[in-house]
Amino acid sequence: MKNTSIKLLFIVFAAGLLGGCGQQFPGFEEAENGVYYKVHYRSGDSTRPVTTDWVIINMDYRLEDSLMFSSADMDEPLRFPMIKPTFRGDLYAGLSLMNVGDSMSFAIVADSFFLKTAYLKHLPPNVEAGSPMYYDVKLLRVLSEQENQLEIQEEGDRKLREEMNLLRKYLKDNNINVQPTPSGLFFISLEKGNGRKPKEGEMCTVHLMVKQLDGKELFSNYDDEPFEIEMGKEFDTKGLMEGLGMMEEGGKALLIVPSEIGVGPGGKDGVPPFTTITYEVKLEKIKTVEEVKKDRQQRKRLKEQADLERKQNEQNRIDAYLRGNGITVKPLESGLYFIPLEEGSGRYPVDGDKVKVHYILHTIEGKLLQSSYEQKQTFDFVLGTGSVIKGWEEAIRLMQKGSKAKIIVPSKLAYGSRERGKDIPAYSPLVFDLELMDIE
């Protein structure tokens, strides 16, 4: 079963302070165990979960006017073990009122979720103190511990068979006839090296491309700096490390890594469980640990020097952009350059408003980096929550619905000394074209 189900459940069942404040909720009844509930459907089934059982449910949780989570968006229903209620009226107590097939809603106070479960210091701007929060639950199945383990094992076996069938087809379609190593790794030499094989503790400088068998690319650094991987030290998967140890310096190989020595039965880094992956690996160089330390120190010095030069030259770069584009507007007190392009109408947004924004991002030298118009999707966020850069927060407060503006954001109002990929190094001023589509 998906690990994501268990992770999401931390939020779901830890948040069940269903009756903790003693507040009545209109339309809800209070059970003897402190749960505020509303029945939508009773199935007539007599199976009810008890401690040590496992439950499988569909669940939404929501505020009065907005959905926060829905298990319908996941590949599988939520599955987790029943335990004794940790306090009066928690979610486990709510589930204990349900039979298989029942649909019910439970009401809580939102403060309990955000302050006691999510450990926020303050409520989000769009959540009022004492406001209600609701869980809509349908109990699909109840399993004993033994039944749950057996079902998980059977499901794992089925997925493993599917994986092996796909792997056999891949080998046949690509005319791969090599035999796997005892671990299950398929090693196909693409280019023979002219050096030695790496020893444990040495550093391997590598380029690699990772794909699924269907050709979906998961990662590649062939167009970027190579990785440095310490031989014998855990890195990504066992299959990669095994295959790397079979290569010679200067060589290139294709590694086919089944899930047993790869992503495993739980998946990894967004790769689904029981997925065979491939690595195209080029072993560029083998270095001693001492050589790598010297290289890293040199790169660090060069980066610090480049960062310092960008920091000292930032205003000159901004001034050059202003001159080149005939912009004479003065910066605001914060340092933000705000150039209105098109008027809007209505009120200005304030903290707590959800805003929908279209944007185009360029470097100060004019290179296009991103466009929400091309993606055909606005960027939505709640103003005042710190979820966007300071330059955006300030600019959006100056705009009305339908208005457009260009902003030049100095690095102190953007990402400062942090890098955001190779196109946005430290101390990078940025240029945005903004369109405020809606305020909610």
Domain membership of residue 226 (yes or no) is: yes
Cβ(82)–Cβ(101) under 8 Å? no
- pLDDT given for residue 25 in this prediction: 87
Domain membership of residue 154 (yes or no) is: no
Q: Of 288, 328, 329, give the one whose Cα is nearest residue 203.
A: 288
Residues 225 and 327 in one domain: no
Q: What are phi and psi of 145, to 5 degrees?
A: -55, -45
Domain membership of residue 358 (yes or no) is: yes
Q: Residue 215 and residue 166: Cα distance in Å, rounded?
A: 12
Q: What tokens were used for 438?
A: 């809606």
Range of the domain at 248: 174-287
Q: What is the DSSP letter of 271?
A: B
Residues 387 and 433 in one domain: yes
Residues 180 and 227 in one domain: yes
Residues 117 and 192 in one domain: no
Residues 274 and 343 in one domain: no
- pLDDT given for residue 15 in this prediction: 40
Please provide the average confidence, as pLDDT, over all residues in the chain: 90
Residues 392 and 273 in one domain: no
Q: What tokens were used for 71?
A: 């298990």
CA torsion sign for 80, 83, 87, 91 is positive
* β pairing state of 54-63 and 67-70: antiparallel
Q: Of 73, 67, 53, give the one whose Cα is nearest residue 8.
A: 73
Q: Residue 241 and residue 361: Cα distance in Å, rounded?
A: 39
Domain membership of residue 155 (yes or no) is: no
Q: What tokens were used for 218?
A: 């998961």
- Into how many domains does the chain fold? 3
- pLDDT given for residue 116 in this prediction: 64
CA torsion sign for 144, 148, 151, 153 is negative
Q: What tokens were used for 429?
A: 């001023």
- pLDDT given for residue 21 in this prediction: 43
Domain boundary among 143, 159, 183: 143
- pLDDT given for residue 6 in this prediction: 43
Q: Residue 108 and residue 25: Cα distance in Å, rounded?
A: 8
Residues 325 and 426 in one domain: yes
Domain boundary among 128, 143, 158: 143
Q: What are phi and psi of 230, to 5 degrees?
A: -80, 120
Domain membership of residue 304 (yes or no) is: no
- pLDDT given for residue 117 in this prediction: 59
Domain membership of residue 297 (yes or no) is: no
Report helix, strand or coil for 274: coil
Domain boundary among 287, 302, 328: 287
Residues 280 and 411 in one domain: no
Residues 28 and 137 in one domain: yes
- pLDDT given for residue 240 in this prediction: 96
Q: What tokens were used for 311?
A: 């920091």
Domain membership of residue 283 (yes or no) is: yes
Tell me, rounded to whole angstroms, the distance of Cα 163 from its chain centroid.
25
Residues 82 and 181 in one domain: no
Q: What tokens were used for 386?
A: 């710190």
Residues 99 and 230 in one domain: no
Q: How many CA atoms lie within 13 A of 40 on its CB side?
A: 11
Residue ranges in the chain whose pLDDT is less than 70: 1-24, 112-113, 116-119
Quote the pTM value: 0.57
Residues 82 and 210 in one domain: no
Which CATH number does the domain housing residue 191 bear? 3.10.50.40
CA torsion sign for 61, 67, 70, 74 is negative
Provide DSSP, 11-46: HHHHT---STT----TT-EE-TTS-EEEEEE-----
Domain membership of residue 379 (yes or no) is: yes
- The percent helix, strand, coil of the chain (3-state, each to 5) is 25, 30, 45
Provide DSSP, 356-403: EEEEEEEETT--EEEEHHHHT--EEEETTSS-S-HHHHHHHTT--BT-
Q: For 49-192, where are the E strands, in sequence order? A: 54-63, 67-70, 78-81, 103-109, 132-143, 186-191
